[in-house]
A and B are shown apart, each in its own frame.
Chain A
Amino acid sequence: DTEVTQTPKHLVMGMTNKKSLKCEQHMGHRAMYWYKQKAKKPPELMFVYSYEKLSINESVPSRFSPECPNSSLLNLHLHALQPEDSALYLCASSQVYTRDLSGNTIYFGEGSWLTVV
């Protein structure tokens, strides 16, 4: 199983709503990532979890709150978002979050399309 599964695939939420995006992998990977992608732009890193601990927060606003309940799951809690937060949110995982000579292949989910109205 080399899949990263994200749910929901599509989410429409109001600016006062609280919702969550979920990500799951069963490859035994200990690093998990959230990326945000706006149309025609490269994916931008938001958060990195390594061994269930938050390793990197790329100055993401607090209305995005990541959570890693266990080594297979990664959530992104959303609250009081703005219309400009509408984007594709990609989850990814890799064996570890440290480099090794053979490279660090990152496996992506299909993404969750978020629309904030």
Chain B
Amino acid sequence: ILNVEQSPQSLHVQEGDSTNFTCSFPSSNFYALHWYRWETAKSPEALFVMTLNGDEKKKGRISATLNTKEGYSYLYIKGSQPEDSATYLCAYLNTGNQFYFGTGTSLTVIP
């Protein structure tokens, strides 16, 4: 059984605050890490695909970093807005082409 863990499980922040959360995954046999944003009753939306150690990706106010040697990725949201409220899922793809989702971080941004 392969563990992809996300922390915290849930998070409440005030509008305008910046926040970050973590995805931990096995450092061996790493191939790629995906981040998804999933709003209730909508499709999970792909945010980033990261493959190289030290990768940093940015999309608007959301950015992510990747450390494949120690097996973690951070997702940062700068100046959180209520529309950022969603579950953020990471998914780890290994060299055996197996895809494992994390447990998700549920973010609520309070106006």
Contact = CB atoms under 8 A, between A and B. Distances in A.
Interface of A: 4, 40-45, 90, 97-99, 101-111
Contacts of A90: 44
B93 A99 contact: yes
Contacts of A4: 43
Contacts of B89: 42-43
Contact of B101 (A42, A101, A102, A111): A42
28 contacts: A40-B103, A41-B103, A42-B103, A42-B104, A43-B89, A43-B101, A45-B99, A90-B44, A97-B97, A98-B97, A99-B31, A99-B32, A99-B93, A99-B97, A101-B51, A102-B51, A103-B49, A103-B51, A104-B93, A105-B34, A105-B49, A106-B34, A106-B46, A107-B43, A107-B46, A108-B36, A109-B43, A110-B42
Given A99-B32, A99-B93, A103-B32, A110 B41 contact: yes
A102 B46 CA distance: 14
A110 to B, nearest CB: 5
Contacts of B71: none
B26 interface: no
A4 B46 CA distance: 13
Contacts of B44: 90, 108
Contacts of B45: 108
Contacts of A104: 32, 49, 93
Given A4-B43, A42-B89, A103 B34 contact: yes
A107 B104 CA distance: 17
Given A43-B89, A44-B101, A104-B93, 19 more contacts: A4-B43, A41-B103, A42-B100, A42-B101, A42-B102, A42-B103, A43-B101, A98-B97, A99-B31, A99-B32, A99-B93, A103-B49, A105-B34, A105-B46, A106-B34, A106-B46, A108-B43, A109-B43, A111-B43
